[in-house]
């Protein structure tokens, strides 16, 4: 493991006792790859019988393991005792969560072993191979042909292992132990309002590179009006001649690596069209280092704040947004494909959105790529949610690592304008130190985007109709974002008319959540909870209230679609679903959908930017 990420990853490895993990080869999507998606044989192993022996000693800790399902063995003779057999076990789709593929696994929180066999012929002498996972929730131990490749912790970000020299021509056995047990010290912790989908929930690929590979790169239009692009390429392997090209703009820039394999470059984008929601122009960019090539589609835009304004390409913009979980309600399953991303973002577009909050963890890579094509701005976040072990250094290292992997993967996507550090965290010195450290880390990785966190409103101690937004985190964030539930968790919708707000910051305000549950198809009067009329009235009154906040520059109501949540028990209404969606679990729009749609149509007409 080399280069700029190694310090933070080593810190993670040593403080948590985990094995070191390799940095992701982020541009998997820009390379030709052998897909390892499809049916994988699985063994459901609630007692981790394939991982530890009856003394709870890990099989893979032995120099020459004699047991463990990762050996993927067959009895050598009819008398040998072996109590597992992948070939005769059930199978599941990858990418996919296990919960939605088998009724018995709906609430399952423990280990599932996945196994996939594949043949492989290298394309060139000296080529290197990597096995790449888009994500596995929550921890993954990975084995190839019986030997451990490594381990990854964190359910929503990519990881890879180099397997050069370890592949056979036929019948490679790739085994992954995926475990989604919730743990108090993890990120997220044990308590969330979303489904704990387990499994290999994202694409798995085999990548091949020449001996020198482009390990990482960044290409970013710098804030300001001079259209300066700066960036770097990071090589892994002996130095090679490097080039960045944008043929449509006749740009070709050579770069020379320093001793650590890193080359910086800078050029001006003369005559280029900037990326924006109304014209999401993407340029084909090729990056070359010797025999290694990446081909990407990249948009160039700037995002800045000035006082209470958010400036996209120098012009003030209102963010007409909606929140999203990475879930396809029609399947009650994790969203996994580009088609899922198009469906969700297409619904947001129909609502009149130019912006989406990808809550509450990094979504799959397709979301940002499809948003780049469609011209939808994004807020991306990490699962530092509610309570976290703020004083635990391993918890911090884990959160920072997830953030690093997210930024490394998506920093070249024009659609992403905001990195968000946390959601609804209780104010305390330890929490503020933890999140401020994440902010400082983010600024070193990416100085070109806005930083936020979904904070909270509090009632004024003497006047409950007055809401205050005050949080020491705003000292370091570019935006003042907060969730508020007046009319649902706090009072009733009619209270919106009386509400007063104290927000003493000259920064853009984004209301990152508001909303209430409605069962699609349940009708009644506007005072009856869980009816579509209640929800529609709540939206009408909330929008009228929030429009009076002078610094308001964006909204992401909670939420586009109903989503599964194990915290929601009301029979015949919730049945394990959070019903705050504007779209029901069957895809039907609720009344509040058109309330927000009309509001956004008016906002779009008022604004010069769509």
Which residues contribute to the site for ligand GCB (CB under 6 A)? 193, 360, 423-424, 483, 513, 558, 578, 580
CB of 481 to ligand GCB, least distance (A): 11
Residues 6+ apart with CB under 8 A from 183: 189, 190
Query: Nearer Cβ to ligand GCB, position 22 or 381?
Result: 381
CB of 351 to ligand GCB, least distance (A): 18
Q: For ligand GCB, which residue has the nearest CB?
A: 193
* Closer residue to ligand GCB, CB minimum distance, 276 or 423: 423
Question: Which H/E stretch holds residue 429?
Answer: helix 429-445
CB 561 → ligand GCB: shortest distance, Å?
Answer: 12
Nearer to ligand GCB, 203 or 424 (CB): 424
Decide whether 54 or 489 has the Cβ nearer to ligand GCB: 489
Considering the complex, state which of residue 177 and residue 325 has its C-beta at the smaller distance from ligand GCB.
Answer: 325
Of 296 and 424, CB closest to ligand GCB: 424
Q: How far is the CB of 562 from ligand GCB (least distance, A)?
A: 11
Is the CB of 173 or the CB of 481 nearer to ligand GCB?
A: 481
Assigned token pair, 95: 């990418």
Cβ proximity of 579 and 573 under 8 Å = yes
**Choice between 347 and 514, CB closer to ligand GCB:** 514
Give the relative orientation of helices 591-606 and 532-546 as an angle to the nearest 10 degrees: 20
Helix axes 429-445, 393-410, angle to 10 degrees: 30
Indicate the residue among 378 and 453 with the shorter CB distance to ligand GCB: 453
Q: Is 595 helix (H, G, I), strand (E, B) or coil?
A: helix
Distance of CA 304 to the CA centre of its chain: 22
Give the three-class secondary structure for 123.
coil
CA distances from 239 to 97, 232, 254, 258 (A): 41, 14, 13, 9
Return the residue matching tokens 């090209």.
245
Q: What is d(CA 358, CA 538) in angstroms, rounded to the nearest whole number?
A: 23
Strand order across the 159-162 sheet? 33-35, 204-209, 128-133, 159-162
Residue closer to ligand GCB, measured from CB, 369 or 590: 590
Beta carbon of residue 473, minimum distance to ligand GCB (angstroms, whole number): 16
Nearest distance from C-beta of residue 530 to ligand GCB, angstroms: 13
Considering only CA atoms, which of 422, 392, 438 is closest in space to residue 16? 392
Tokens of 535: 């929800």
Yes or no: say if 521 and 588 are a contact pair by the CB < 8 Å rule: yes
Whole-number Å distance between alpha carbons of 189 and 178? 17
Nearer to ligand GCB, 365 or 424 (CB): 424
Closest CA to 409 of 359, 437, 368: 368
For 449-467, letters b (16+ CB in 10 Å) and e give bbbbbbbbbeeeeeeeeeb
d(C-alpha 451, C-alpha 471), whole Å: 15
- 469: tokens are 């937004």
Which tokens belong to 282? 């993407």
**DSSP bridge partners of 91:** 41
**Which residue, 188 or 210, is less far from ligand GCB as judged by CB?**
188
For the CB of residue 578, give the shortest distance to ligand GCB in the complex, in Å: 5
CB of 336 to ligand GCB, least distance (A): 21
- Smallest distance from the beta carbon of 456 to ligand GCB, in angstroms? 8
Q: In angstroms, what is the minimal distance from the CB of 386 to ligand GCB? A: 8
CA distance 133 to 153: 12
* Sheet containing strand 500-502, strands side by side: 458-459, 466-468, 500-502
| E strand map for 415-502 | 416-423, 450-456, 458-459, 466-468, 480-483, 500-502
- Least distance (Å) from ligand GCB to the CB of residue 558? 5
**Cβ proximity of 379 and 338 under 8 Å:** no
3-state secondary structure of 564: strand
Closest approach, Cβ 568 to ligand GCB, in A, equals: 8
């Amino acid at each position: 493991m080399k280069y700029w990420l190694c310090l933070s990853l080593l810190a993670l490895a040593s403080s948590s006792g985990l094995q070191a993990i390799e940095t992701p080869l982020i541009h998997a999507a820009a390379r030709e790859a052998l897909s390892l998606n499809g049916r994988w044989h699985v063994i459901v192993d609630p007692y981790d019988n394939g991982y530890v022996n009856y003394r709870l000693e890990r099989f893979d800790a032995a120099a020459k393991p004699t047991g463990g399902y990762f050996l993927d063995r067959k009895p050598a003779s009819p008398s040998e005792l072996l109590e597992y057999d992948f070939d005769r076990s059930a199978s599941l789709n990858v990418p996919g969560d296990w919960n939605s593929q088998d009724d018995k696994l709906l609430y399952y929180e423990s280990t599932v072993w996945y196994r996939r066999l594949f043949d492989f012929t290298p394309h060139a002498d000296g080529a290197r191979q990597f096995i790449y996972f888009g994500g596995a929730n929550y921890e993954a131990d990975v084995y190839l042909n019986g030997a451990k490749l490594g381990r990854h912790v964190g359910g929503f970000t990519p990881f890879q292992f180099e397997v050069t020299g370890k592949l056979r021509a036929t019948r490679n056995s790739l085994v992954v132990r995926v475990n989604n047990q919730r743990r108090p010290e993890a990120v997220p912790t044990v308590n969330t309002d979303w489904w704990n989908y387990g499994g290999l929930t994202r694409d798995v690929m085999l990548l091949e590179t020449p001996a020198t590979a482009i390990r990482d790169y960044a290409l970013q239009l710098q804030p300001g009006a001079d259209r300066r692009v700066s960036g770097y390429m990071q090589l892994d392997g002996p130095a090679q001649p490097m080039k960045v090209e944008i043929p449509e703009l006749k740009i070709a820039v050579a770069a020379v690596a320093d001793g650590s394999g890193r080359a910086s470059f800078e050029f001006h984008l003369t005559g280029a069209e900037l990326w924006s929601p109304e014209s999401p122009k993407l340029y084909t960019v090729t990056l070359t280092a010797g025999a290694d090539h990446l081909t990407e589609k990249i948009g160039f835009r700037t995002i800045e704040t000035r006082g209470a304004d958010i400036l996209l390409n120098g012009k003030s913009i209102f963010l007409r947004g909606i929140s999203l979980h990475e879930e396809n309600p029609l399947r009650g399953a994790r969203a996994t494909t580009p088609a899922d991303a198009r469906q969700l973002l297409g619904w947001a577009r129909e609502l009149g959105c130019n912006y989406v909050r990808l809550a509450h963890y990094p979504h799959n890579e397709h979301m940002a790529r499809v948003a780049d094509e469609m011209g939808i701005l994004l807020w991306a976040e990490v699962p530092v949610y509610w309570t976290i072990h703020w004083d635990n250094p391993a918890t911090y290292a884990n959160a920072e690592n997830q953030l690093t992997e997210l930024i490394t993967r998506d920093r070249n996507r024009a659609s992403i304008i905001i990195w968000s550090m946390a959601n609804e965290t209780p104010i305390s010195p330890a929490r503020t130190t933890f999140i401020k450290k994440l902010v400082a880390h983010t600024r070193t990785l990416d100085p070109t985007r806005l930083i936020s966190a979904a904070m909270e409103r509090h009632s004024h101690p003497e006047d409950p109709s007055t809401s205050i937004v005050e949080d020491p985190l705003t000292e370091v964030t570019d935006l003042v974002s907060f969730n508020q539930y007046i009319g649902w968790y706090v009072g009733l919708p009619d209270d919106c008319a009386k509400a007063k707000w104290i927000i003493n910051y000259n920064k853009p305000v984004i209301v990152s959540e508001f909303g209430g549950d409605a069962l699609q198809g349940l009708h009644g009067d506007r005072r009856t909870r869980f009816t579509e009329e209640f929800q529609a009235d709540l939206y009408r009154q909330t929008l009228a209230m929030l429009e009076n906040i002078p610094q308001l520059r964006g909204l992401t109501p909670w939420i586009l679609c109903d989503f599964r949540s194990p915290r929601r028990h009301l029979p015949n209404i919730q049945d394990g679903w959070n019903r705050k969606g504007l779209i029901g679990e069957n895809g039907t729009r609720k009344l509040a959908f058109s309330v927000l749609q009309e509001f956004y149509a008016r906002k779009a007409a008022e604004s010069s930017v769509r």
